[in-house]
Structure 1
Amino acid sequence: MEQDFSAAGIAGLASRHLCTVEFEVGGGIFGIGASPFGDQRIGYVSGGRFFGSRINGIVLPGGGNWSRAGRLASGSAVGTFDARAVWQTDDGVLVYLSYNGRSVVPDDVRAEFSDPAGPPVDPARYYLRIAPVFETASEKYGWLNGLLAVGVGERTDFGVRHQIHEIL
């Protein structure tokens, strides 16, 4: 598919909704602990689903998020993401997804945010952003290979939900 790269222009960015993805973190988060390199945690992706106008399917078990946590000068908790997962579209195509990102959780939200069994926490009270990239051998979904995306996330009782937008 040929693209018109002049549409977005140099002055700014445009985006459109690509999909919503719900990552299930069934095994919880394993705290490795604070090392000289930061407080390392690992979350195992046990499944999930994604849905949008052009792509739908399931998140296969086996991915994960290798995150680090620290503190900002303001005292808020800050985290980084290093995540990978494999998606399977409704028509059986495999798509590899990797993303980095950031979270900022103020102290007055931290206890609620850290308790997945608790009630949902208003996403306006914390910052959770990702920058996913995709890889697939599929001709049908090959357009994903040239795409940069950003996601806005929220903690859920099953893991995390991201609204992913492709940058045009």
Structure 2
Amino acid sequence: MTPEIKTEYAFTITAKIADVTSAGDIGSGVRRIIPIVGGEVRGEKVNGKVLGFGADFQIIRPNELIELEARYAFETDDGAVVYVENRGIRFGPVDLLEKLKRGEPVDPKLIYFRTVPRFETGAEKYRWLMQHIFIASAARHADRVVIDVHQVL
């Protein structure tokens, strides 16, 4: 028998975003690039600020399934820098996804938005981020993405 999989809330990343840039239809969908320009990290074991560089690179498939890959970093309150690579998908009713694209509010419970963040850091205190798997539930707002990160135990 293998160990049971459980998760535990770890922290929340709120990533502030800038205007979307589109590279257009690349044949397999529409490529979008969304700059990450700041934000914060809040939790029991990790607190800090999202650094003002990085981006979310997305492909919107013809059925509105959005594949995303965000790359950015945050700095903890005690000075450690943590690199983040976060891959996932966002999917829901087309009319609601269109509202999100226009920056209109949508109840996050109506959109499936899940990711698998990976972390890298040389800071010994935060090595545990590299020694565990994490999953996240996220919500897109007009000016930010809120990501609740859970540690797989």
The answer to whether the superposition gives a TM-score over 0.5 is yes
The structure richer in strand per residue is: 2
Measure how far apart 1:55 and its partner are.
0.3
Q: 1:88 aligns with which of 57, 75, 78?
A: 75
Match of 2:8?
Answer: 16
Aligned equivalents of 1:151 and 1:19: distance in 2?
A: 10
Question: Is 1:100 aligned with 2:92?
Answer: no
- Contact between 1:134 and 1:147, CA under 8 Å: does it hold in 2? no
SS of equivalent residue, structure 1 residue 45: strand
Check if 1:51 corresponds to 2:63.
no
| Structure 1 residue 71, shift from structure 2 partner | 3.2
User: Taking structure 1 as the reference length, what is the TM-score of the superposition?
Assistant: 0.86
RMSD between aligned alpha carbons? 1.4
Cα shift readout 1:44-80 (whole Å, capped 9, x = no counterpart): 10001010010000000111111101134xxxx1011
**4+ residue stretches of structure 1 with deviation over 2 A?**
9-12
Q: What number of residue pairs does the alignment pair up?
A: 153
CA distance in structure 1 between the aligned counterparts of 2:143 and 2:97, rounded to whole angstroms: 17
| Distance in 1 of aligned mates of 2:84 and 2:41 | 12
Corresponding position of 1:4? none
**Aligned match for 2:60, one of 66, 69, 94:** 69
Where do residues 123-142 of structure 1 align in structure 2 (5 Å cutoff)?
123-142=108-127
Distance 2:68 2:97 in 1: 17
Cα deviation per residue 1:83-122 (whole Å; 9 max; x = unaligned)? Answer: 1111100011100110110010312312321122x3x311
SS at match of 1:10: coil
